[in-house]
Chains A and B, each alone.
Chain A
Amino acid sequence: MTDMPDTTLTGDPSHDAPGHEHGDDAAGYYTPGAPIADTKAPGGPIDERWSTRKFEARLVNPANRRKLDIIIVGTGLAGGSAAATLGEAGYNVKSFCYQDSPRRAHSIAAQGGINAAKNYKEDGDSVHRLFYDTVKGGDYRSRESNVYRLAEVSTNIIDQCVAQGVPFAREYGGLLDNRSFGGVQVSRTFYARGQTGQQLLIGAYQAMERQVAAGTVQQFTRHEMLELIVVDGKARGIIARDLVTGEIETHLADVVVLATGGYGNVFFLSTNAMGSNVTAAWRAHRKGAYMANPCYTQIHPTCIPVTGSHQSKLTLMSESLRNDGRIWVPKKKADCDKDPREIPEQDRDYYLERIYPSFGNLVPRDIASRAAKNVCDEGRGVGPEVDGVRRGVYLDFSAAIERLGRAGIEEKYDNLFDMYARITGENPYETPMRIYPAVHYVMGGLWVDYDLQATIPGLFVTGEANFSDHGANRLGASALMQGLADGYFVLPHTIRDYLADGPFEKVDENHPAVVEARKSVEDRVAHFLSTNGTRSVDSYHRELGNIMWEYCGMERTEDGLKKAIDLIRTLREDFWRNVKVLGTAESLNQSLEKAGRVADFFELGELMCIDALNRRESCGGHFRGESQTEDGEALRHDDQFAYVAAWEFTRDPDSESEGMGAPVLHKEDLVYTAIEMKQRSYK
């Protein structure tokens, strides 16, 4: 563990910006609550905890399994793998997704790869090192038991996927190939050209379809979960809208699993899919599930820059490109509009290699992103000016093409290069790519314990929708690992301990809790269709996104966040009064779908700002301007903030039904026994 050039953290608040009074930045915006703790992880040596938990989790006998109903919302890596596995085990599974097929979940878009501690390269990798890298990469803000387990089951994932027919890249000898990814010094990333997510998801999807054929899994496509049903304190079902007929349906079960992905679309522009949303998670949050660290957002350094106001989404260029591409900007502002090929070597600033000599272009994402923002803020960005600033840096492959030949580069990245050429109209084999950071992933999510259970009993949360494994920053190729770890290897074991008490008493469709949930969905739909306002849903979403990007994006400050909260509240009021949704409730109505999602993004956006305001430290993807070292690096304050911020929803009694009150903050202290907390350094 001492192989990294780290310095032990002082956590001395005197490093903070001079002259600041250390108060509670978020005072008045929230209410302090009782601490919270994970009670499910067994004690003892970290490498024995998962075995112990698996052994202690009670079993459900096979004859009982088919009497147990499990709802799984989401068919990405986290949900698809869980549906397949629980179906194979013989449970009765109902699987939901909003797309027209489970295979289209946004996991499909993951490009670069999936980590696993196979140590096939004999380069010193191990479960412990993957654990260490992930905790360090997360800037010591994740829960160590969960991360260790993730590293531990990572190797099983590769075995499972290969057996399913996932065509990973191979070497000439027929064995699996690996590449390296940002933030680590070993080669442990398995990949299928630039389409790893697609291949893994197709594997999970096929396994799930096999269970559909076997009758254990029932799939509901083009269905959107709009409410969670909680009966006697337990999650017992969902209200979903059939997006084709508009019918509001009640689905009841013994347990509910949310695998609904990330909420990066709160920023409007992100690398997420158009339909990615927070609605499922947010509805659960409103029903009592705590939301943890919502402000931890990952801004990915290598995306295609924005071209104009018509932009509907941003496209990622896989981080794996940083293995072969070199990032630079001109040293002189005057060179910024020149043809990059004409700028001589000595006039280029390979700023990552300069500032971080030991990791160079492979520094973690948060660091690479902020560095790009800084050089563009200095006026050394490249590409077209948008709103008076050039927001782009070069990612240059000319040296790699010289070294590996064009064919060598094609073999590794052809789909990415094609995509770049298609979107920008420029040929990256001939001229350097232009990239800029974009919102990509959220580390925050619903709070779960070691069993992946939320604060509502019977509600389990997996994949990007939960908060557990990546702390304040996720390392590349770790989300695919987490999604499949959760769905194939963790949840199927932990959920049985809960289900061992079932089947639970049947819930009647006329139970007041069911009727209430249904009615709230119907009322919302009716509200949107009767508002007859003047502004489209998208126009609100875009404006909300701008506020979030400006004040809760790559750099956050007390003043900015407070301003953002005011702006969001004003805009949200206006949205409820003035949004314009045409069409009917009884048919496919895409504006109506979006209206519900944006309504929830408004509340989430406010909570993200409050969380960011409370956390007056910089850690991972969360950079507070007030908390940096003299040379502008992020500065954590472990003495004050080594905790998970788990937020409880409260209703504002003075506001109408959708009103959001001051949230209650519950702190889960982070205790590290197997690893020493250090200030991250990649220099």
Chain B
Amino acid sequence: MRLTLKIWRQPDAQTKGAMHTYELDGVSEDMSFLEMLDVLNEDLISKGEDPVAFDSDCREGICGMCGLMINGQAHGPEVTTTCQLHMRSFKDGDEVVIEPWRADAFPVIKDLVVDRGAFDRIIQAGGFISVNTGSAPEAHSVPVPRDDATRAFNVATCIGCGACVAACPNGSASLFMGAKVTHLGELPQGQPERDARVVGMVAQHDAEGFGGCTNIGECTAACPKEIPLDVISRLNWDLHAALRHGH
């Protein structure tokens, strides 16, 4: 198939960017979206033009490195990561608009590549269980009800891609935080630090310039791992409980 691609080009963080249009022919439906961009880049290189910079690593939907706004949707039209989106979701003659994540807390580095360092700093502020290596008790000493373990797992699947932030009109990272707070809060091991965790993470979130949650729900619709909206209720609930406990 033949596509018209409109792609955001920006040489670096300081320089202003703009949309550029490219025509690409010979796209097969078995290609992944990023393989389609690889083909474009080979084409650009052969013409002596700078290839389009975009992030990807695992290309199997698990590392969270990739992420593009495709026709205004984070990760494009399917519920999956950009790297797992395949060209069979498009048809001959389509126009495809490709932009980077747009959020104050994710500044553009180049073209479609953004800086998501803020996510690491949110985790540093409390997204862990403090247990030094070697000090753990025997694994079976604390049984965990199967349903709790399953619920924890279901939200622990967050890949930290940032689509939730990109999709949110407020640029909030509440879904990302809610997923972590729920993952650790569902488990007995996570209880001792539950209050400190949520307070620390939320404070860092706000300091990074992410916006507040107004319950729009675009985040969960864009999330490739289908993290449910109720993790945000859980986040708020835990935050209020922590504040009540005097944090």
Which residues from chain B contact A209 at a C-beta distance below 8 Å? 120, 123-124, 127-128
Residue A64 at the B interface, CB < 8 A?
Answer: no
Residue B116 at the A interface, CB < 8 A?
Answer: yes
Chain A residue at minimum C-beta to C-beta distance from B85: A422
Looking at the complex, which one of B119, B120, B131, B144 makes contact with A164 (CB distance below 8 Å)? B131
In the complex, the answer to whether B133 meets A160 with C-beta atoms within 8 Å is yes
Which residues from chain A contact B132 at a C-beta distance below 8 Å? 85, 88
Stretch touching chain B among A199-207, A506-514, A668-676? A199-207
Rounded to whole angstroms, the CA-CA distance of A169 and B56 in the bound complex is: 29
In the complex, the answer to whether B134 meets A174 with C-beta atoms within 8 Å is no
In the complex, the answer to whether B58 meets A108 with C-beta atoms within 8 Å is yes
Looking at the complex, which one of B28, B58, B140, B143 makes contact with A310 (CB distance below 8 Å)? B28
Which residues from chain A contact B160 at a C-beta distance below 8 Å? 101, 103-104
Residue B178 at the A interface, CB < 8 A?
Answer: no
Rounded to whole angstroms, the CA-CA distance of A316 and B110 in the bound complex is: 31
In the complex, the answer to whether A273 meets B146 with C-beta atoms within 8 Å is no
Which residues from chain A contact B42 at a C-beta distance below 8 Å? 536, 538-539
Residue A53 at the B interface, CB < 8 A?
Answer: no
Nearest CB of B to A424, in Å: 8
Which residues from chain B contact A383 at a C-beta distance below 8 Å? none
Per the 8 Å Cβ criterion, residues 9-40 of B in contact with A are 11-12, 28-32, 34-36, 38-39
Residue A274 at the B interface, CB < 8 A?
Answer: yes
In the complex, the answer to whether A172 meets B146 with C-beta atoms within 8 Å is yes
Which residues from chain A contact B115 at a C-beta distance below 8 Å? 100, 244
Which residues from chain B contact A173 at a C-beta distance below 8 Å? 143, 146
Looking at the complex, which one of B35, B120, B125, B187 makes contact with A219 (CB distance below 8 Å)? B120
Chain A residue at minimum C-beta to C-beta distance from B127: A206
Rounded to whole angstroms, the CA-CA distance of A250 and B127 in the bound complex is: 31
Residue B246 at the A interface, CB < 8 A?
Answer: no
Which residues from chain A contact B150 at a C-beta distance below 8 Å? 167, 170
In the complex, the answer to whether B133 meets A582 with C-beta atoms within 8 Å is no
Which residues from chain B contact A275 at a C-beta distance below 8 Å? 57
Known: A100-B117, A312-B35, A588-B109. A109 touches B129 (CB 8 A): no
Nearest CB of A to B11, in Å: 7
Rounded to whole angstroms, the CA-CA distance of A176 and B78 in the bound complex is: 34
Q: What string of 1s and 0s marks CB contacts (under 8 Å) between A79-115 and chain B?
A: 0010011001000000000011111101011000000
Of the listed residues A169, A213, A583, the one surrounded by the most CB atoms of chain B closer than 10 A to its CB is A213
Residue B189 at the A interface, CB < 8 A?
Answer: yes
Nearest CB of B to A397, in Å: 20
Chain A residue at minimum C-beta to C-beta distance from B57: A273
In the complex, the answer to whether A120 meets B183 with C-beta atoms within 8 Å is no
Of the listed residues A162, A165, A422, the one surrounded by the most CB atoms of chain B closer than 10 A to its CB is A165
Looking at the complex, which one of A103, A168, A308, A580 makes contact with B30 (CB distance below 8 Å)? A308
Chain B residue at minimum C-beta to C-beta distance from A488: B133
Chain A residue at minimum C-beta to C-beta distance from B64: A104
Nearest CB of B to A144, in Å: 25
Which residues from chain B contact A174 at a C-beta distance below 8 Å? 143-146, 149
Known: A273-B57, A582-B51. A310 touches B187 (CB 8 A): no
Per the 8 Å Cβ criterion, residues 333-391 of A in contact with B are none
Residue A192 at the B interface, CB < 8 A?
Answer: yes
Chain B residue at minimum C-beta to C-beta distance from A172: B146
Which residues from chain B contact A590 at a C-beta distance below 8 Å? 51, 53
Rounded to whole angstroms, the CA-CA distance of A316 and B62 in the bound complex is: 12
In the complex, the answer to whether B133 meets A165 with C-beta atoms within 8 Å is no
Known: A106-B58, A176-B139. A88 touches B28 (CB 8 A): no
Rounded to whole angstroms, the CA-CA distance of A529 and B94 in the bound complex is: 36
In the complex, the answer to whether B38 meets A165 with C-beta atoms within 8 Å is no
Rounded to whole angstroms, the CA-CA distance of A307 and B35 in the bound complex is: 12
Rounded to whole angstroms, the CA-CA distance of A120 and B53 in the bound complex is: 49
In the complex, the answer to whether B144 meets A163 with C-beta atoms within 8 Å is no
Stretch touching chain A among B151-159, B169-177, B214-222? B151-159
In the complex, the answer to whether B139 meets A158 with C-beta atoms within 8 Å is yes
Which residues from chain B contact A307 at a C-beta distance below 8 Å? 30
Looking at the complex, which one of A100, A312, A591 makes contact with B51 (CB distance below 8 Å)? A591
In the complex, the answer to whether A489 meets B133 with C-beta atoms within 8 Å is yes
Which residues from chain B contact A158 at a C-beta distance below 8 Å? 139
Rounded to whole angstroms, the CA-CA distance of A85 and B135 in the bound complex is: 11
Nearest CB of B to A652, in Å: 31
Of the listed residues B62, B78, B120, B134, the one surrounded by the most CB atoms of chain A closer than 10 A to its CB is B62
Nearest CB of B to A532, in Å: 10
Known: A99-B63, A425-B88, A582-B49. A165 touches B129 (CB 8 A): yes
Residue A423 at the B interface, CB < 8 A?
Answer: yes
Residue B166 at the A interface, CB < 8 A?
Answer: no
In the complex, the answer to whether B58 meets A273 with C-beta atoms within 8 Å is yes
Rounded to whole angstroms, the CA-CA distance of A169 and B88 in the bound complex is: 34
In the complex, the answer to whether A311 meets B63 with C-beta atoms within 8 Å is no
Which residues from chain A contact B119 at a C-beta distance below 8 Å? 101
Which residues from chain B contact A536 at a C-beta distance below 8 Å? 42, 45-46
Per the 8 Å Cβ criterion, residues 577-620 of A in contact with B are 580, 582-583, 587-588, 590-591
Residue B61 at the A interface, CB < 8 A?
Answer: yes
Nearest CB of B to A70, in Å: 15
Residue B240 at the A interface, CB < 8 A?
Answer: no
Rounded to whole angstroms, the CA-CA distance of A600 and B145 in the bound complex is: 50
In the complex, the answer to whether B35 meets A311 with C-beta atoms within 8 Å is yes
Residue B65 at the A interface, CB < 8 A?
Answer: yes
In the complex, the answer to whether B124 meets A210 with C-beta atoms within 8 Å is yes
Nearest CB of A to B111, in Å: 8
Per the 8 Å Cβ criterion, residues 115-161 of A in contact with B are 118, 120, 156, 158-160
Nearest CB of B to A637, in Å: 38
In the complex, the answer to whether B140 meets A175 with C-beta atoms within 8 Å is yes
Nearest CB of B to A210, in Å: 4
Looking at the complex, which one of A199, A212, A489 makes contact with B124 (CB distance below 8 Å)? A212
Per the 8 Å Cβ criterion, residues 403-433 of A in contact with B are 419, 422-423, 425
Looking at the complex, which one of A100, A163, A165, A274 makes contact with B59 (CB distance below 8 Å)? A274
In the complex, the answer to whether A274 meets B45 with C-beta atoms within 8 Å is no
Rounded to whole angstroms, the CA-CA distance of A110 and B221 in the bound complex is: 26
In the complex, the answer to whether A588 meets B53 with C-beta atoms within 8 Å is yes
Residue B82 at the A interface, CB < 8 A?
Answer: no
Residue A279 at the B interface, CB < 8 A?
Answer: no
Rounded to whole angstroms, the CA-CA distance of A195 and B109 in the bound complex is: 30
Of the listed residues A160, A162, A193, A195, the one surrounded by the most CB atoms of chain B closer than 10 A to its CB is A162
In the complex, the answer to whether A165 meets B137 with C-beta atoms within 8 Å is no
Known: A167-B152, A221-B117, A488-B133. A582 touches B50 (CB 8 A): yes
Residue B4 at the A interface, CB < 8 A?
Answer: no
In the complex, the answer to whether A109 meets B139 with C-beta atoms within 8 Å is no
In the complex, the answer to whether A423 meets B62 with C-beta atoms within 8 Å is no
Nearest CB of B to A236, in Å: 26
Residue A315 at the B interface, CB < 8 A?
Answer: yes
Residue B208 at the A interface, CB < 8 A?
Answer: no
Nearest CB of B to A576, in Å: 18
Residue A3 at the B interface, CB < 8 A?
Answer: no
Nearest CB of A to B199, in Å: 14
Rounded to whole angstroms, the CA-CA distance of A492 and B135 in the bound complex is: 14
In the complex, the answer to whether B38 meets A587 with C-beta atoms within 8 Å is no
Residues of A within 8 A of B (CB): 81, 84-85, 88, 99-104, 106, 108-109, 118, 120, 156, 158-160, 162-165, 167-176, 192-193, 195, 198-199, 202, 205-207, 209-210, 212-213, 219, 221, 244, 273-275, 307-308, 310-313, 315-316, 419, 422-423, 425, 488-489, 492, 536, 538-539, 580, 582-583, 587-588, 590-591
Not counting A160-B131, A313-B59, a sample of 7 additional A-B residue pairs whose C-beta atoms are within 8 angstroms of each other reads: A104-B58, A106-B58, A109-B63, A205-B123, A422-B61, A536-B46, A539-B42
* Subset of 26 A-B contacts with CB under 8 Å: A88-B132, A101-B116, A104-B63, A104-B160, A106-B63, A108-B62, A120-B140, A156-B136, A159-B139, A160-B133, A160-B134, A167-B153, A167-B183, A167-B187, A169-B149, A170-B150, A176-B139, A176-B140, A209-B128, A212-B120, A213-B124, A273-B59, A312-B59, A419-B84, A425-B29, A425-B86
Give the top 10 A-B pairs by smallest Cβ distance, nearest first. A174-B143, A163-B136, A206-B128, A167-B153, A85-B133, A213-B124, A159-B136, A167-B152, A104-B63, A273-B57
